[in-house]
Each structure stands twice: as C-alpha cells, then as structure tokens.
Structure 1
Amino acid sequence: MEIDCSKYRMKYDLHTHTTYSHGFIKPHGKGTMEENVRAAIAAGLDGIAISDHGPGHIFYGLKRQLLPEMHEEIKRLRRAYPQIDIYFSVEANLMESENNLDVSHEEIGDYDFILAGYHYGVFHGHCMANFMNNKKLSGKSVRDKLLELNTEMAVGAIRKNQIKVLTHPGDKGPFDIHEIAKACADTGTLMEISTWHSHLTVEEIKIAMKEDVGFIIDSDAHTPDRVGSFAGGLSRAAEAGLDLDRIVNVEEIR
C-alpha cells in the first residue's frame, strides 16, 4: 500500500541524540540539545526527547558524571522554548545484567522515561557473536542460540523495567519479534519503527501487529537535520498493512 506521507505529521520525536553521546575521537551525536530542540520546532513537532546512548556503551555512552549538567541544560531549554515539550530520556542498552539494562532501577529515576535497544559496543551483550552472525560467519546452531539469548535479554528488560519505547527491535541480531511483541503488549511498551535503521522491517511489523501493541516512529537522529524524520517509517507501516491509528505519534492532517 502506497501512502502520501505529506498528508501526515509527526507529533513528537522521542529518539534523538546529541553531543552527549560521546565518542572516543569525536561525538557520536553531532548536534547540541538546543540545536535538536530548535530543529524540532522548525519541523512543527509538539515535543522532543533528548535520549542519548546509555552509559554502558563503551564507545558512545553518556557520562554519568555529566548528568547534573544535562539536567540543568534541559531546565534551561524548557524555559527558553515553552512552545514545545522537552523530555530528558536515555536509550539504555540491552545486556546481561540484573535488570537486563545498563541503567539500574535507581538510575531510571534520573530520566522522565527510558528507551531501550540493542547495540554493539556493550559488555555482556553477546556483541561479537551477533556481529559475526550478521556477517554470516557463524552457523545455524550459533544463530539459534543467539535468538534465544537475545530474546531473553529483550523480554527480560521489558518485563523488569518501565520502558516507554523499545528501539529498533530486531536490529543487529536475531530476535523473536513475536515473543517481544507479546511482552510489549503486556507492559504497554511501544515498539519503534525507526527511520534510521531498517527495523522494524515490513515483515517484523506484520508479526508484531498481531499482538495488542502500540507503535511509534522515531528519527533516531544523530544530526539536528534529521529530527522529526518519519516518512520512511510510515511508508513501511503502510506497506505492512498496519492500522496507522496504532502509531501513537503520527496523525493525519485534517
């Protein structure tokens, strides 16, 4: 099903990165918080979340010691730009830990809400095995084991924490989308259709939409110019036959 994306608008974008997503040589995110906020206003959004990579990412994770500075900047921006809702979030990393995240239960309170997703570059996340599998350098038995381990990590994180959005489910490793969708439906966790990654794919959307789960389209912007990007995700959702009313942050322009 083809769709004219110009007849729709994104209401808010909950997945954007800034220079606080640090890199060893240069920042992973290229814009400041303020640049992302200003881009969101220019895109006509009602709200934006700053959601830098969780602290467990060895290459791009935010620095815990900078959290007070980040909080103060969010407060300043809320005063400076009252016309838009500004949220402080984090894209926590799925991993093998007590709560299957790199953000503890106590640290969750540092944020308005949390996002969570799977990434390479995290200790205890089966990263090398998933990378090798994605490069087709491992056999079926390894893939089957990774499917089990990855799904257990994701479902564990969903059920042990209050996660608002599961980001790009299915990316970077084998995951049982049906089991993950059931967990998201049970907990009210939104499943992201990313416009940066290819997940959820059309086929994954078809699997997930069989459960009573909500969907969200996010830009996963690492540069301000991508804040508010939603057309690619909307096109994928339409191709899958998803009822677009199930996407919580996109609406038809009346």
Structure 2
Amino acid sequence: MENKKYEMGYDLHTHTIFSHGKGTIEDNVRAALDRGLTHVAITDHGPGHLFYGIKRKDVPVMRKEIELLNKKYPRISIHLSVEANIIKTGNHLDIRPDEYDQYDFVIAGYHYGLPKGYCVSNWLWNHGLTLGEKQLKIKNTDMVIKALYENDISILTHPGDKGPFDMLPIAEACADTDTLMEISTWHPHMTVEEIKIAAETDAQFIISSDAHVPGRIGDFEGGLERAKEAGLDLCRIVNLREIK
C-alpha cells in the first residue's frame, strides 16, 4: 500500500493563539480547506495548564468566532473542542463536568505543566533521572483509565507520551468507552509497538496533526507509516480514507 492511496478526511486536534499555537482560528480553517478536509476542530489546551492553558473567559469568544466562520466557510465544518489535561484528582480532567456543554466534544491527554499529575516524577523519568518506574506506571495508568471512565472523552491524545504507561489496559478502556486512540504526527506516540498492543483490543484509532502552526494541519503521513509498520488494519483509523 502506498501513502498516495490514502488521505486524511478530517483533523480533530489543532491549536491556536488561544493556547500556544501560532495561528488564529481562521488561519487553521483556511489551512484545513487547503488540505481538502471536511472537518477541523479547534482544541486548545485545558485551563489547568500552568503555562499555556486557555482562559475560561475566552471560550465564549471562541464559540462566537467559530459560529461566524461556519457561515463564512460552508465547505467545512468547524468544531470547538478542548484538549483537556488528565490529572490524578477530582474527575481526573482539568475541566469540570458542568463545562462540557461549552464544547462540541472533549479530547484529553497527559501533559506536563499540571500541579496534580505526577508531572515532576514523569519529567524526571523521561530524562532518565528517577527510580520506581513500576509504581509510576501503575499510577499513570490508573489516572488515565479513571479519566476515561469518569468523563465523556472522544479522543485520548498521544497515549503513552511523557511517562511510563501500561498500554493494554488503557486500550481496553478506550474500547469499552468508545474513545478513539490518537496516532499523533507531532508526538512519537503512539509508537509502532504501542499500536501493536492496542490493536489486540477492539479500540479504534484516529490520526491527528496536533498542529501548533497552520501549515501542519492535515499532516497524517507519519502516523500512517507507523500504523502500516504495526500491521494495523487501516479501516480502524476513522479519519483515513482511500483515494479511489
């Protein structure tokens, strides 16, 4: 199978200047149109992030702009989402359950920069500076699985990134909760080995650009290569379509 036989239908993970992206919402929309996408989602970082989370007061501003842009660009559907941050307390996300209605859907992933997410331990582990990998993996995995079961998460972003995680039970939880597992083209996760493990379950997948600049929107080739190397049935990638 050659890459030229496939294309990305939609990109549901992009960032703008409302968090730490470089483009405006309209910049992202125009880039998505240039790539021939049918849908694009604006998914700036959740408000709990200490350095580049969205400001809660900006969410209505983003919603109004997206409503106007949907009228201006009828050839594409523009969605307001948020990349919530997975944490170890509360409902295990940095957005509250009562805030869900502000978004068309919610995606979520693990990041540094949160005060309640084992961030120091994971950062040290990722730089080869910590012991206790087994216990940290247990804590990380439990945190992610609880987030999946306690929230309506549409996409688990770059699973396996920034710390040790047990991919099989996470994939089983994604399958059970109908949460798509992201193969990112910005982060190295999911890796080929992680895709192989997750493919043992009934989980479904999505390729995302996680674009922080408009020029990367619609980027899917690297994710497709990893999926093919892992032997994944490409029909399980929901936004990949074969070019007839």
Look up the match of 2:11. Answer: 13
1:240 aligns with 2:240: no
1:124 aligns with 2:124: no
Looking at structure 2, the residues matched to 218 and 65 of structure 1 have their Cα atoms a distance apart, in angstroms, of 27
Q: Which runs of 5+ in 2 are unaligned?
A: none
Look up the match of 2:212. Answer: 222
State the secondary structure of the residue aligned to 2:42: strand
The TM-score, its normalising length taken from structure 2, stands at 0.99
- What is the deviation of 1:68? 1.3
- What is the deviation of 1:61? 0.2
State the secondary structure of the residue aligned to 1:14: strand
Aligned with 2:80 (options 79, 84, 88): 88
Look up the match of 2:139. Answer: 149
**Number of matched pairs:** 244
Deviation track 1:54-110 (CA, whole Å, cap 9, x = no partner) reads 000011100001111111111111111111011100000000222100011111111
The TM-score, its normalising length taken from structure 1, stands at 0.95
Looking at structure 1, the residues matched to 101 and 137 of structure 2 have their Cα atoms a distance apart, in angstroms, of 31
- What is the deviation of 1:175? 0.6
Displacement over 6 Å in runs of 4+? none
Deviation track 1:103-123 (CA, whole Å, cap 9, x = no partner) reads 111111110000000000011
How do 1:99-138 and structure 2 match up within 5 A?
A: 99-138=91-130
- What is the deviation of 1:245? 0.2
Cα-Cα RMSD: 0.7
State the secondary structure of the residue aligned to 2:108: strand
1:197 aligns with 2:187: yes
Looking at structure 1, the residues matched to 228 and 95 of structure 2 have their Cα atoms a distance apart, in angstroms, of 34
1:31 aligns with 2:32: no
